[in-house]
C-alpha cells in the first residue's frame, strides 16, 4: 500500500525550493492570481492541496496542521528537497509554523500571509457559530469573506470566492480543519526559532491584523519581520498580487544573498592557504 502524497504542481526550475500552502477557504488555486508573475528562474514553487481540498478533497485524514506538516515533509523527501522555504496563507500559515516545529533545520525561511498564529485563534461564541456553521452554510462563508476584507470587495468577487470554496473543499474536512487551526496552541514548540520569518497582513483585515502579529509572531521569532499592505484585507493574493510577490520574493532572496556572502567569506579564508599549497606544489615539481 502506497503512502499518501499531497497533490501538487511545480512551477519554475530555480534552486530555491518553496512550498505554497493554501488557507481554509481554498485549494492550491488560491495562488492562481500570482502565478503568472513569479520568478521561475530563482525559485521553484510547489503548490499543494491539503487533505480535504482540491485533488485531495476525498482524502481521509485527521485534518490538522500537524498532519499537514508531516505530509509536506514527506513530499519534500519525495521531491528531493533537502532544504526549502514555505509560504502559508491564513490556516496555511499555521501549517508553516507546524513545519517549523517539526523540521526547523530543513527550513530556509517561512512566510505567513495573514497567518493564523501558532497559538490558534480563539473565537467568541457568536463568531464560533458563524465559522463552525460555514461548513454547510454558504452565506456564512460570504459573511466571513466580506468581514475579513473590510466590506470593500465587489459582490461578484465574494460570490465567486464562495463558489470556489464550496466546490473545492469537503464540508466535513472543512469543519474539522477549524478545530485545528483555531483551537490548537503549539506556540511553545516554535517560540525562539531562529529561522527568518516574515508575516504579511492587510490593513483591511480586522482579525489577523498587524496588532495580532505584534503580540504573537514578532514576539516568538527573533528573526521575525512584518509588512502590512494598506489596500488589502485577508486575501492579498487576490487583492494586491504584484505587491505580495515583490515583498515575499525580496524576503526569500535575502536567504540566497546570505548564502552567497557566507560562501565568499569562506573563499576569502581559504584562498591564502590554497595559494600557499599551489606554490609548494609548484616548487616540489620543479
For the cut 90, the answer to whether the pLDDT of residue 273 exceeds it is no
Residues 259-273 have a mean pLDDT of 58
Residues 100-105 have a mean pLDDT of 97
Residues 43-52 have a mean pLDDT of 98
Q: How far is residue 116's CA from residue 6's CA, in Å, rounded to a whole number? A: 21
Contact criterion met (CB below 8 Å) for 46 and 8: yes
pLDDT at 3 (0 to 100)? 79
Show the cell assigned to 285: 615539481
Q: Tell me: the pLDDT tens digits for 126-181?
A: 999 999 999 999 999 999 999 999 999 999 999 999 999 999 999 999 999 999 99
Give me the phi and psi of 200, to 5 degrees please: -115, 135
pLDDT at 125 (0 to 100)? 87
Q: Tell me: the pLDDT tens digits for 176-217?
A: 999 999 999 999 999 999 999 999 999 999 999 999 999 999
pTM: 0.90
List alpha helices for the chain, DSSP H: 65-79, 91-102, 125-132, 138-147, 155-167, 171-183, 210-215, 217-220, 236-239, 241-285
Residues 6+ apart with CB under 8 A from 99: 69, 72, 73, 86, 107, 110
Give me the phi and psi of 102, to 5 degrees please: -80, -40
Show the cell assigned to 186: 503549539
Q: Tell me: the pLDDT tens digits for 220-234?
A: 999 999 999 999 999
Residues 6+ apart with CB under 8 A from 102: 66, 69, 70, 73
pLDDT at 176 (0 to 100)? 98
pLDDT at 262 (0 to 100)? 65
Residues 257-279 have a mean pLDDT of 54
pLDDT at 218 (0 to 100)? 98
Number of helices (H), then strands (E), in the chain: 10, 7
User: What is residue 130's three-state secondary structure?
Assistant: helix
Per-residue confidence at 283, pLDDT binned at 50, 70, 90?
very low
pLDDT at 268 (0 to 100)? 58
Amino acid at each position: 500500500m502506497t503512502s499518501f502524497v499531497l497533490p501538487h504542481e511545480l512551477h519554475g526550475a530555480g534552486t530555491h525550493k518553496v512550498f505554497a500552502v493554501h488557507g481554509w477557504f481554498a485549494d492550491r488555486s488560491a495562488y492562481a492570481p500570482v502565478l503568472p508573475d513569479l520568478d521561475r528562474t530563482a525559485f521553484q514553487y510547489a503548490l499543494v492541496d491539503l487533505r480535504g481540498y482540491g485533488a485531495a478533497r476525498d482524502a481521509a485524514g485527521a485534518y490538522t496542521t500537524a498532519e499537514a506538516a508531516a505530509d509536506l515533509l514527506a513530499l519534500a523527501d519525495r521531491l528531493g528537497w533537502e532544504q526549502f522555504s514555505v509560504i502559508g496563507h491564513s490556516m496555511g500559515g499555521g501549517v508553516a509554523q507546524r513545519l517549523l516545529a517539526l523540521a526547523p533545520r530543513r527550513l530556509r525561511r517561512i512566510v505567513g500571509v495573514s497567518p493564523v498564529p501558532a497559538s490558534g485563534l480563539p473565537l467568541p461564541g457568536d463568531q464560533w457559530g458563524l465559522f463552525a456553521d460555514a461548513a454547510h452554510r454558504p452565506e456564512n462563508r460570504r459573511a466571513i469573506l466580506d468581514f475579513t476584507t473590510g466590506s470593500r470587495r465587489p459582490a461578484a468577487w465574494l460570490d465567486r470566492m464562495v463558489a470556489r470554496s464550496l466546490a473545492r473543499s469537503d464540508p466535513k474536512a472543512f469543519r474539522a480543519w477549524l478545530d485545528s487551526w483555531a483551537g490548537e496552541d503549539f506556540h511553545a514548540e516554535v517560540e525562539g526559532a531562529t529561522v527568518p520569518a516574515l508575516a504579511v497582513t492587510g490593513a483591511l483585515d480586522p482579525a489577523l491584523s498587524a496588532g495580532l502579529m505584534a503580540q504573537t509572531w514578532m514576539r516568538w521569532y527573533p528573526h521575525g519581520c512584518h509588512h502590512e499592505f494598506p489596500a488589502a484585507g485577508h486575501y492579498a493574493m487576490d487583492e494586491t498580487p504584484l505587491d505580495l510577490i515583490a515583498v515575499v520574493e525580496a524576503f526569500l532572496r535575502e536567504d540566497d544573498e546570505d548564502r552567497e556572502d557566507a560562501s565568499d567569506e569562506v573563499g576569502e579564508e581559504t584562498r591564502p592557504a590554497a595559494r600557499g599549497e599551489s606554490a609548494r606544489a609548484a616548487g616540489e615539481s620543479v
